[in-house]
Amino acid sequence: MTAALPLDGLRVIEFTHMVMGPTCGMILADLGAEVIKIEPPGGDKTRRLPGLGIGFFRSFNRNKKSVVLDLHTPAGRATALELIGQSDVLIENFRPGLMAELGLDYDTLSARFPRLIYASHKGFLPGPYEHRTALDEVVQMMGGLSYMTGPPGQPLRAGASVNDIMGGMFGAIGVLAALRERERTGRGQEVQSALFENCVFLVAQHIQQYLMTGEPPPPMPARVSAWSVYDVFSLADDERLFIGAVSDRQFRTLCEVIERPDLADDPALATNTQRVAERPRLMQELRQTLRGWRLDELCARLEAAGVPFAPLRRPDQLVDDPHLRASGGLMPMDTDDGQTTQVVALPLRMGHRRLGVRQPLARVGEHTEDVLSRLSSH
């Protein structure tokens, strides 16, 4: 990628770990900013997480430089201050109070660097909960998302770090807005993004549903569907397929595709309202018929007919997804151990291009000498 990127010339210094803060930095880095990740001696512990955390570092730290500093020493803090003074944006997501203990909080830094934009990622925005330690799972439980995801009586966290990732996204949006405002005022500001408030935003529609109806919304697995055909069906060879026919036209088309014209001609199933009332009978008919269809053949026919459908896929199956590969959604990246992996691109295009990987994943402290030598010469 040789063309200029939107944030070329912007310098970001990042004090982060885990997912939320690194996501914010990665978005800015993908957009062209020079992002300098400050790691402690030995490196960010996120690099060595096992289990479901094993992919965190590679997923959210591309296109960054790595500088090792010991912030618990006067020399390390002094060097950090020099770097901050040459940066446009600071990103952090450490526990509440830690940056203040280090003298790197916004109030302290803004007095010295009034143009600095300071993006803080926490569990909670200021309020009664702000000193609590939060995790994605914590806020999913207290923010209503787990209740809405699981069946009644069985709250279930979403199967990805949705609040961490979206919290980083909102942090990046705030940074971009603050940069625009700085063009007018000449001053930076603090941007705050938080897991709990992010989760509440995710369930905003359900809060509004309650305010409009006075009835608590049921969990999604127990919801009353607005459409008669909006479910997962078992096909031949125990394959599974979601089908959503959300209009009268789509229902008639579905009946043609699965060769059940009798259902389309049934006057008791003429409208969606009638079909919802007849849903138990209709679903029994559909499930019995669809058991005889093979997945590939049915998908091809549904796609040609314009009926919404979705095969159930695991994340590992997406590595070979033809659309992701053709659209540039998966990109090769050299890793910090000399290998190559595939990473997921930001889900957008700008100027007919996907934002790509510009450099190998940084090794611990790989850019320390280069970055600090430019400090001393400054």
CATH number at residue 261: 3.30.1540.10
End-to-end CA distance of the chain: 29
Q: How many domains does the chain have?
A: 2
- Residues 125-175 pLDDT 10s: 999 999 999 999 999 999 999 999 999 999 999 999 999 999 999 999 999
pLDDT at 376: 61
Output the DSSP codes for 33-45: -EEEEEE-TT--G
Q: Are the C-beta atoms of 116 and 187 separated by less than 8 Å?
A: no
Final residue of a structural domain among 274, 290, 312: 312
Cα–Cα distance for residue pair 271/269, rounded to 1 Å:
6
Whether residues 142 and 60 share a domain: the answer is yes
CATH number at residue 58: 3.40.50.10540
Whether residues 166 and 82 share a domain: the answer is yes
Cα–Cα distance for residue pair 55/378, rounded to 1 Å:
37
What is the mean pLDDT of the segment spanning 338-360? Answer: 96
- The residues that bridge with 91 in the sheet, in sequence order, are 14, 119
Pairing of strands 11-15, 89-92: parallel
Output the pTM of the full model: 0.95
Whether residues 326 and 284 share a domain: the answer is no
Tell whether 225 is covered by a domain.
Answer: no
Q: At 225, is the pLDDT very low, low, confident or very high (cuts 50, 70, 90)? A: confident
What is the mean pLDDT of the segment spanning 191-213? Answer: 98
244: pLDDT strictly greater than 80: yes
Whether residues 125 and 39 share a domain: the answer is yes
Tell whether 220 is covered by a domain.
Answer: no
Final residue of a structural domain among 259, 285, 312: 312
What is the mean pLDDT of the segment spanning 93-99? Answer: 95
Whether residues 43 and 139 share a domain: the answer is yes
Whether residues 135 and 50 share a domain: the answer is yes
Tell whether 6 is covered by a domain.
Answer: no
353: helix, coil or strand?
strand
pLDDT at 223: 85
pLDDT at 1: 46
List the domain range (segments joined by +) for residue 284: 238-312
Q: Is the dihedral of CA 346, 347, 348, 354 positive or negative?
A: positive
Whether residues 99 and 162 share a domain: the answer is yes
What is the mean pLDDT of the segment spanning 256-280? Answer: 97
The mean pLDDT value of the chain amounts to 96
Whether residues 21 and 74 share a domain: the answer is yes
Q: Are the C-beta atoms of 296 and 236 separated by less than 8 Å?
A: no
pLDDT at 224: 79
Tell whether 82 is covered by a domain.
Answer: yes
Q: At 226, is the pLDDT very low, low, confident or very high (cuts 50, 70, 90)? A: confident
Final residue of a structural domain among 312, 345, 362: 312
* Four-point Cα dihedral 11, 15, 17, 23, nearest 10: -30
- Residues 4-51 pLDDT 10s: 999 999 999 999 999 999 999 999 999 999 999 999 999 999 999 999
322: helix, coil or strand?
helix
Tell whether 371 is covered by a domain.
Answer: yes
Output the DSSP codes for 295-310: HHHHHHHHHHHT--EE
Tell whether 105 is covered by a domain.
Answer: yes
pLDDT at 2: 58
Contacts by residues 128-134 (CB-CB < 8 Å, ≥ 24 positions apart) = 129/196, 130/96, 131/96, 131/97, 133/95, 133/96, 134/194, 134/195, 134/196
Tell whether 66 is covered by a domain.
Answer: yes
378: pLDDT strictly greater than 50: no
Tell whether 230 is covered by a domain.
Answer: no
What is the mean pLDDT of the segment spanning 75-79? Answer: 98
Whether residues 287 and 334 share a domain: the answer is no
CA-CA distances (angstroms) from residue 269 to 272, 278, 316? 7, 7, 39
Whether residues 305 and 343 share a domain: the answer is no
Whether residues 40 and 141 share a domain: the answer is yes
Which residues does the annotation mark as catalytic? Answer: 164
Whether residues 308 and 354 share a domain: the answer is no
